[in-house]
Every structure is written in structure tokens, then in C-alpha cells.
Amino acid sequence: MVIQVKRSGDGILTSRDYLTIDDFDVDGKTILVRVDLNTPMDMDGNILDDMRIKSHIPTIKDLEDAKVVLMAHQSRAGKNDFTTMKPHAQRMSQYLGKEVEYVDDIFGTYARSSIESMEKGDVILLENVRFYSEESIERPASAHATTHMVRKLSPLLDIFLNDAFAVSHRSHLSIMGFTEILPTGAGRVMEKEISSLDRGIKGGERPCIFVLGGAKVDDSLKVAEHVLINGGADRVLVTGVVANVMLAAAGVDIGKVNLDFIESQGYTDQIARAKQVLDKFDGKIGYPIDVAFNDGGKRVEVLVSELPDGNLPINDIGLETIVAFSEEIKNAKTVVLNGPAGLSEVEPFALGTHEIIRAAINSEYSIAGGGHISAEIRNLGYENEFSHLSTGGGACIDYLAGDALPGIEALKTAAIRYRLNR
């Protein structure tokens, strides 16, 4: 297989086993771009956070000489915000400075005639792809390629671009099906996600520190093992529920209420696994030396070595841990954050999360996984201080854990096919 070498935006030479916009002549071509416009919406259908919509603007602008057909989803069946893409088209029009036409159809006669009548420079957004029941069926690309949607749309298209990193951990129809039929590459969001996350787990400046928090204990332990085994990280610091599991694994009595919460999340078995990780990577994992209890809404800090016999929930790391972790983070050259340090939506217990974020912007290269931690960074106004904020939640943590994402694997397979046929 031929692997192309490319100079990335930050000047680093990188090898790629997938194609991008730069590999195609897009002038006048009709290009289907799978984007991820899934956004929080209120009960009236108003968009509450348009970060993902904004993230795709560079891709669309780089296709200004093409005919751009956007395909996306909003929520899923059964949810209150499972609705049309009309508000998304309107918001995207504002950012592009030109109309993004909303097409109330996915692959029927109206959708196909809209595509056929497009002129160079036009952008249309098809209806919520999850309105089509086959979209969310998990199956191989070859099976998806035989569906009505792919068969109806592909004759009208020249190129397919996957720019939806956040859903590329799912082998869904709109992610996989067109890769078997059309020349396929990555959009700018996908390209940046891969290169940025790779820098964190493979080739970042040292020392490299991962800070893993939140409540997804099994995922975080998998990430910790992966980056420590392959040498991607020098240290892993744990916070949130992950830290509580680590403390329990280290023999600390964290109290019944905290153990009950771990059990309610289905993570009791992860305590034994955490002990194995601690033993295997002795000295490589840092866990709290003090914690903050929630005593009726009041923050009460206690050293881990002096935990009382009470039964209060641990809702944040303590101040001494914040200082120690912040010092390590500030001295690191590459920092990867995933998950909050505590109950950051409640003011007294947001301290750990916020201070770790502030420490991370001092590193040479800072990456934040998607979801809650990225939202906190934006709320604090530090979005432009981070080198990379991932658009993916589950996709990001799967990638950091070394899992193969079906959408990215399909890009690689399509690149091999394209190069062989040239």
C-alpha cells in the first residue's frame, strides 16, 4: 500500500493511509459530505450549542467550487429533539454567508431532483438521515452499499467525504455505504481529529500527560492501559469516578455511598481491573491525595489518609490534589484531558475541573476529548487556548483507547481501492 506523506497545518510531516479533499479535483464536482450537526436543542426546536455546526465551515469553504450535498442526523428516534434539519441549515447559512438550502427529503424524488439541479457553489442539507430506519443498523460497508439510499444517490455523486468523526465509531449506513461505491476521503474535521489525537497518543512532545476523569470508568482504564503500554503517555492522572475506583483499588475506604454509586453504574468489577492497572504501571498513575465531599451542598475537603467513617459523596478532587496535578500538567509539553474532575455543573465542585483546564493551556500542545470537558472549556472562554477540542465523545475515547473506528477504517479501505484503480 502506498502511504502518502503530507505536511500538516502545524508544519509536522505526517503519513496518511486515507485521502482528503486535497487528493481530489473538486471543481464542479457533486460531493456528498457526511457531517455531524447533532446539537442540543430546546423543546421549541431552538439550537442551544452550535459548536459542531461551526466546526464544518472550513470543509464547506474548501469546497466552494463544488456542488455540496450535506447529510447529517439530529438525535435519535424516541428523543424529544429528534427533529428536522431545517434549523441547522438556517444556522449554517449564517456562518457561511450564503444560503444552505434545506431539502425535506433524504433520497426520494425531491432530494434527487434537488441534487440534479444544483449549480457550482450551491450547498444543500438533506433531511435527518436517521428518519430512514436502515441508517442506524450496524453492518459492514459492503452490506450498506446495497441499500436503496446508496443506490438512489450514488449515481448523482462524484465524491464522498466523511467529516463526521463523532459518529465514526458506529458502522452506520451514511458513514459506511458510499465508501464502497464512490471515491472517498476525509473532510477537514475528520483530518484534524485524526492528526491531533495521533499527536497525543503517538508522537507528541514529551513529557505527555493524560488526565482521565468523568464516570466512564471502563473506557478510561482502557485508555490508560493503551497509552502506557504503547509509550504514548509518561503519566496518567485520574479524577472523577475513575479516581474513586482507583482509590478503592488501592485499598482506600471511600465510603458506602461512593461504592454504591460505582455499583449503580455497573463498575464494581472495574475495581479489580483498576488494581491490576495500578500494579502493572507502578508510579505511572497519579490519583488524588485529598478529596472534596458534598455535605449538603457544602464543599468539605479531607486528606485521603484521613477519610472519616461518614457516608458523604465524593464530588471533586481536593485542593492539594489540584495543586499537585496542576504542577505536573503545567510542566508537560503535551496534555490530553478527557472527562471532568468532579461534579462540575455544581459550582462548589467545579474547582478541580476548572483548575485542571487552566493548567492545561500552559502546555505546548493541549487536547480535550469531546463531551463534558469540551463544554466546560468553552464555558470558561478557553476554546481558542486549546490546540484541539475534539468533536467526538464516544468516538474520541474509543480512538484514544486504540480501538479501530469503522468510519476511519472504511476511509483507509477506500484509499487503497482508489490508488489501485488510478
**Burial tier of 93 (Cβ tally within 10 Å: 0-12, 13-18, 19+):** middle
Q: Do the annotations mark residue 294 as ligand-binding?
A: no
Q: Do the annotations mark residue 247 as ligand-binding?
A: no
Q: Do the annotations mark residue 187 as ligand-binding?
A: no
Strand partners, 214: none
State the DSSP H helix or E strand holding residue 337, giving kind and residue range, or none if neither.
Answer: strand 334-338
Q: Would you give the end-to-end CA distance of the chain in angstroms? A: 13
3-class DSSP state for residue 357?
helix
Q: Do the annotations mark residue 36 as ligand-binding?
A: yes
Q: Do the annotations mark residue 181 as ligand-binding?
A: no
Q: Do the annotations mark residue 226 as ligand-binding?
A: no
Residue 259 CA to residue 217 CA, distance in Å, equals 13
Q: Do the annotations mark residue 259 as ligand-binding?
A: no
Q: Do the annotations mark residue 81 as ligand-binding?
A: no
Residue 145 CA to residue 151 CA, distance in Å, equals 7
Q: Do the annotations mark residue 170 as ligand-binding?
A: yes
Residue 10 CA to residue 407 CA, distance in Å, equals 25
Q: Do the annotations mark residue 73 as ligand-binding?
A: yes
* Torsion-angle region of 319 (φ positive above 0: left; ψ -120 to 50: alpha; else: beta): alpha
Q: Do the annotations mark residue 265 as ligand-binding?
A: no
Look-up of cell digits 432530494: 111
Q: Do the annotations mark residue 372 as ligand-binding?
A: yes
Question: Are 162 and 168 within 8 A, CB to CB?
Answer: yes
Distant-in-sequence, close-in-space partners of 235: CB < 8 Å, separation ≥ 6: 207, 209, 210, 284, 285, 286, 328
Residue 355 CA to residue 349 CA, distance in Å, equals 11
Residue 373 CA to residue 220 CA, distance in Å, equals 14
Peptide bond into 348 cis (omega under 30): no
Q: Do the annotations mark residue 37 as ligand-binding?
A: yes
Query: DSSP for 7-47?
Result: E-TTS-EEEESS-BGGGS--TT-EEEEE------B-TTS-B
| Binding site members for (2R)-3-phosphoglycerate | 52, 130, 170
| Binding site members for ATP | 345, 370-373
| Binding site members for substrate | 36-38, 52, 73-76, 130, 170
| Binding site members | 36-38, 52, 73-76, 130, 170, 345, 370-373
